[in-house]
Structure 1
Amino acid sequence: MSIQTSEQLSRQLRNPLVEQRADPWVYKHTDGFYYFTGSVPEYDRIVLRRAASLEGLTEAVEVIVWKKYEEGVMSKHIWAPELHFINGKWYIYFAAAKQDEPFRHRMYVLESESPNPLEGSWTEKGQIVTGWDSFSLDATSFEQGGEQYLVWAQQDPAIPGNTNLYIATMSNPWTLKSKQVLITKPELDWEVVGFMVNEGAAVLKRNGRIFLTYSGSATNHNYAMGLLSADLSSDLLDPSSWVKSQIPVFESCPETSQFGPGHNSFTVTENGEQDVLIYHARSYKEIVGDPLFDPNRHARAKVFTWNVDGTPNFGKPPADTV
């Protein structure tokens, strides 16, 4: 049973919202604009667009704010950029590999002082150095209790599988302050299909709790979203503060022809009254070749509600409207 009424759910958002943009990130800033970024199929650049409405993002002019190098670090497979506004400046978190090691991903940060992040220059702040040097990606950041936190996915050579989720506090937007702490690893049946993956974290606060969604399994129709939650007043660096849902909270829906929904972010409607889930999914199940190189993970949007127990209710991914 949901707290919100059916009338509040009457708005059906345009889908796909932005075509061929996986790992979508939407941020509604205090200037009233929605800012969008995501992985492009070529994995060779970082793009931004902005609009005064969610649907306006579809036709908004896209600006290239950074391009990969021809060789060395940050020269291959530019993945999952996120745009954050921290202490009066813009930051983009992203993962990148090397031409000669295309899956040797590490996390990097860009900074801009421009009021409009589509304008002005970006400064490379370097790699986020974690507790050990290994495959890492999907950094996201949030503030709580006066502390800035980073959550990201990383491979631990001592733990079977591909990536786990870690959390740490930060001394600045590109430097960890605390020791990194493991908060979830792929161990449930739905998280280990094809690959053992926990990745793509996104943060949502409501009802005195902090919710952390993430995605698991291979990037085909098995990809789905899970959920962690903790009390806002708890020690977020204590793994025991986090409670993990045992079942996915958002997954493929053959009835609506939506497959592999995941790697999400959160925003709100223009009036701020409804919560919106931003995610990618395909409109077909069968994929030729490696799913990573199928370009049709489109960015999509869905209004979601809240259950009486205070947890988010994402429902099922709706069918395409266009």
Structure 2
Amino acid sequence: MPYRFVSLIAAALLALPAGAAPVFDNPLVQQRADPHVTLQPDGYYYLTATAPEYDRIEVRRARDLNGIGKGESKVVWRKHAAGPMSASIWAPEMHRIDGKWYIYFTAGRADAPMDIRLYVLENAAANPLEGTWKERGQLKTGWEIFALDATTFAIGGKRYLLWTQRPPASDKHMTAVYMAEMDTPLSITGAATLLTTPEHPWEKIKFDVNEAPAVLVKNGRVFVTYSASATDANYALGMLTADAGADLLDARSWSKSARPVFASSQATGQYGPGHNSFTTTPDGKTDILVYHARSYEHIPGDSLHDPNRHTRAQAIAWRADGTPDFGEPVADKAADSSRP
């Protein structure tokens, strides 16, 4: 390689700003909604997400988040032929807790696909693409009604479950976000706390929805994002905030954003961003928002039957007051050819 060419490359690299935010090859994975990504001490990023057929749970891993779409992958579980866990396999999240892997997911029945509940799988292997995933049954939330989108996190020596459920006294089909302490990775203890219900107009477009909580602990605070409205271009993220040292099971500890913190952008061609998770760069210096979105606005028919919610990622900026600035969903690196 000519010396002059090498010198030009070196000069270009030196010209990059220090600590420049990573740029991702969006979409990272085609036709994977509700993405959950975790970076583990073994150096791998692990991804679980909803497949458009709603029939299976797949685990992917790669050492580079940009390579997760082409990384190792394995279908670790498939829906049952009938009965519980035979339809609507949604929103799997994989967490490493006390030396074991757990996948929390949503499932319905073939004869009632929208009568959904929370379920758990467990695997004791070090590598979740190996070993045996055992069904550990339903994760009970205290009442038997429409429930989905479980996540978990630990702080202050306690582990919590957050999830979406239809309030027991609700007279309409709306969903809210709840939180409870966990006594084991398979169960909650004590009463559930109602964190948020749809109240702003942007949370009630077509459907009254607060769902898909995700947790980010930073700068002495706990940030919980959630998704609102129908799963089309109206889908958007809201956010709750509490002090990390507060009683997180006291609803009064939380404040709620009055406006969406992340929403569709005609400028970048991204629509319905939501159902996110959080991870970091390998050095832990940059926080990353992982989410799904479509590259077109108008969807014929039911948006849940449109398969083209793709997994995407972008770096998070931080404001001077210590709160996250998600900006707007960035444009895809290449044209999306999946549009119907």
TM-score over 0.5 (shorter chain): yes
Q: Distance in 1 between matches of 2:322 and 2:173?
A: 32
Which of the numbers 216, 233, 244 marks the counterpart of 1:221?
Answer: 233
Which of the numbers 308, 313, 316 marks the counterpart of 2:325?
Answer: 313
Gaps of 5+ in 2: 1-15, 335-340
* 1:197 partner SS: strand
C-alpha distance 314-7 of structure 1, shift in aligned 2 (>3 A): farther
Q: Which has the higher contact order (CA 8 A, sep 6+)?
A: 1
Shifted more, 137-146 versus 9-18: the winner is 9-18
- 1:71 maps to 2:82: yes
State the partner residue of 1:245: 257
Deviation at 1:10, TM superposition (A): 4.4
Question: Match of 1:204, as an amino acid?
Answer: L
State the partner residue of 1:15: 26
State the Cα deviation string for residues 137-177 of structure 1 (Å, max 9, x = none).
00000001111100000001413442100000011011111
Q: Is the 8 A contact 2:21 2:315 kept in 1?
A: no
Which of the numbers 204, 217, 220 marks the counterpart of 1:205?
Answer: 217
* 2:117 partner SS: strand
Q: Distance in 1 between matches of 2:276 and 2:213?
A: 8
State the partner residue of 2:107: 96
State the Cα deviation string for residues 183-207 of structure 1 (Å, max 9, x = none).
1001111100011011111000011
Q: Distance in 1 between matches of 2:309 and 2:138?
A: 27
Q: Is the 8 A contact 1:161 1:186 kept in 2?
A: no
Q: Distance in 1 between matches of 2:145 and 2:315?
A: 36
Deviation at 1:7, TM superposition (A): 5.2
Q: Distance in 2 between matches of 1:143 and 1:11?
A: 27
Which of the numbers 136, 140, 159 marks the counterpart of 1:129?
Answer: 140
Q: Distance in 2 between matches of 1:237 and 1:11?
A: 35
- 1:36 maps to 2:47: yes
Aligned residues, how many? 318
Q: Is the 8 A contact 1:9 1:303 kept in 2?
A: no
Deviation at 1:61, TM superposition (A): 2.8
- 1:175 maps to 2:180: no
Q: Distance in 2 between matches of 1:37 and 1:240?
A: 33
Whichever of the two has the greater Rg, that structure is 2
Fraction of identical pairs, as percent? 53
Runs of 4+ in 1 over 4 A off after TM superposition: none
State the partner residue of 2:338: none
State the partner residue of 1:276: 288
Deviation at 1:8, TM superposition (A): 3.7
